Amino acid sequence: MNELLSHLERKLPESLRLLEQMVTMESPSFEKRMVDEFVSFLGERFHEIGGQVDFINAERFGNHLRVRFAGPDKGRILLLGHTDTVWPAGEIQKRPFRIDGNRAYGPGVFDMKAGIVLMWMALSALQELRPGLARSVTVLLTSDEEVGSNSSRGLIESEAGQSSAVLVLEPSLPGGVLKTARKGVGRFTLKAIGRAAHAGIDPSKGINAIEEISRQIIRLQGMSGPGGTTVTVGVVQGGTRSNVVPAEAGIEVDVRVESMEEADRITKAIRSLTPELAGARLEVRGSISRPPMERTAETARLFKAAQDIAAEIGIDLKEGSTGGASDGNLTAALGIPTLDGLGPIGDGAHAVDEHVEIDSLPLRAGLLAGMIERL
Ligand SMILES: [Zn+2]
């Protein structure tokens, strides 16, 4: 392990230059041309270190990237990540990549371009130091994770199904803590339909859709609580003019659950909401689209193995959970042991102070390489 770590330390300046190039090439989820360019750049970098590169066409979003590294297929590992960022094109002009002491800043650096650099560091170090990988490794980088993974879900599930463990290089929790549980996420929309009427002449002929939706908001907000479930009404719309009884109003609702049991319970509860005002109608749409990543016995075993490898390089590895979802939710739901949050130490995902701690890069890459060799 020491040989591996000192190799990774020596390669740190080169790795940081790669990180700078990657952050400077912007890749907003909805800018297909920019993401495609970034993805073909990454394809070249992985090809240079011995990977067999495939681009999987996506129509609306950037192409997905799959890289296979040869080795015995038994115990194949899937390294999972995404190339898209939440930042709009041009953000890099406002906040160019910069290094300040032990921190590297820039849009998308923590979520999750430095995580991709860790994959590159670990695989290139293993290829240079050892004659062959202990098992085959697939790197899968999708391009629509930040916007729901609709175009990549099938690909993620099929690659996970051919692997015995999934390692997700998303940002870690504060201090480098891994994520062994994530909440599942659902989005629902409710529309109340009433009847328009003149607010001065005929108010009694109207059915106020805003009042109806307000009553539903109170009910929904009251559903948070049991088993860590949260229900958040995040958007409300309705009405046309102040002197018209509104005929329509709608809301968008975010739902987070820790277990499939809660997912079923809350989905049923929301779908069976009924209008309170006489004559009003209610349209309910939506579902839990990302299942919860539950901490199974197999996940716990995988984490313990990671912890032992980490201890050898002086990392006291801990685990935690989060309300945020990732593609790890999809692989865990298939029953494939999944460890998430293996990315670098840092802070500020989706925020302007987003950064990674530079000295964590060789250590986290060492941990990843150790896991590829010995899990
Ligand atoms: Zn991410």
Average pLDDT, the chain: 96
Residue located via tokens 């901490």: 295
Cα–Cα distances (Å) from 191 to 235, 243, 254, in that order, read 12, 21, 15
Mean pLDDT value of segment 172-178: 96
- Residues forming CATH 3.40.630.10 domain(s) in the chain: 2-182+292-374
Total number of residues shown for the chain:
375
What is the CATH number assigned to the segment(s) 184-290?
Answer: 3.30.70.360
CA 112 – ligand 1 centroid, Å:
5
pLDDT per residue over 98-110, tens digit each? Answer: 999 999 999 999 9
What's the one-letter identity of residue 74? K
- Residues forming CATH 3.30.70.360 domain(s) in the chain: 184-290
Q: Residue 112, preceding bond cis, omega within 30 degrees?
A: yes
CA 170 – ligand 1 centroid, Å:
5
Reply yes or no on whether the pLDDT at 1 is more than 90: no
CA 363 – ligand 1 centroid, Å:
20
> Residue 227: pLDDT band by 50, 70, 90 thresholds?
confident
> 2-182+292-374 architecture in CATH?
3-Layer(aba) Sandwich (3.40)
CA 204 – ligand 1 centroid, Å:
51
pLDDT at 82: 98
CA 135 – ligand 1 centroid, Å:
26
The CA distance from 50 to 100, in Å, is: 33
The CA distance from 349 to 362, in Å, is: 20
- Phi, psi of 293, deg, nearest 5: -95, 105
Element at 181 (helix H, strand E): strand 178-182
CA 83 – ligand 1 centroid, Å:
9
CA 64 – ligand 1 centroid, Å:
15
Reply yes or no on whether the pLDDT at 35 is more than 90: yes
Q: What are the structure tokens assigned to 131, written together?
A: 């004659």
